[in-house]
Chains A and B, each alone.
Chain A
Amino acid sequence: QKEVEQNSGPLSVPEGAIASLNCTYSDRGSQSFFWYRQYSGKSPELIMSIYSNGDKEDGRFTAQLNKASQYVSLLIRDSQPSDSATYLCAAGGYQKVTFGTGTKLQVIP
Chain B
Amino acid sequence: DVKVTQSSRYLVKRTGEKVFLECVQDMDHENMFWYRQDPGLGLRLIYFSYDVKMKEKGDIPEGYSVSREKKERFSLILESASTNQTSMYLCASSPSIIRGQVHFGNGTRLTVT
Interface size class of A (residues with CB under 8 A): 20 to 34
Residues of A within 8 A of B90 (CB): 43-44
Residue B61 at the chain A interface, CB threshold 8 Å: no
What's the least CB distance linking A9 to chain B, in Å? 12
For chain B, the count of residues having a C-beta within 8 Å of the partner chain is 25
Q: A88-B43, A102-B42 are in contact. Are A43 and B106 (CB under 8 A)?
A: yes
**Are A100 and B31 touching (Cβ within 8 A)?**
no
**Are B97 and A88 touching (Cβ within 8 A)?**
no
How many Å lie between the Cα of A92 and that of B50 in the bound state? 14
How many Å lie between the Cα of A100 and that of B104 in the bound state? 16
Residue A74 at the chain B interface, CB threshold 8 Å: no
Residues of B within 8 A of A44 (CB): 43, 90, 104
Residues of B within 8 A of A90 (CB): 102
Q: Which of B74-104 contact A (CB under 8 A)?
A: 90, 94, 97-104
Q: What 0/1 readout, one digit per residue, does chain B (34-66) give for beta carbons within 8 Å of chain A? A: 010000111101001010000010100000000
Interchain residue pairs with CB less than 8 A apart (29): A32-B98, A32-B100, A34-B101, A34-B102, A42-B107, A44-B43, A44-B90, A44-B104, A46-B103, A51-B99, A88-B42, A90-B102, A92-B102, A94-B97, A95-B50, A95-B97, A96-B45, A96-B48, A96-B58, A97-B33, A97-B94, A97-B102, A98-B45, A99-B35, A99-B42, A101-B40, A101-B41, A101-B42, A102-B42
Interface residues of A (CB under 8 A from B): 8, 31-32, 34, 42-46, 49, 51, 88, 90, 92-102
Interface residues of B (CB under 8 A from A): 31, 33, 35, 40-43, 45, 48, 50, 56, 58, 90, 94, 97-107
Q: Which 4 residue pairs are nearest across A and B when measured between Cβ atoms? A: A101-B42, A99-B43, A43-B104, A92-B97
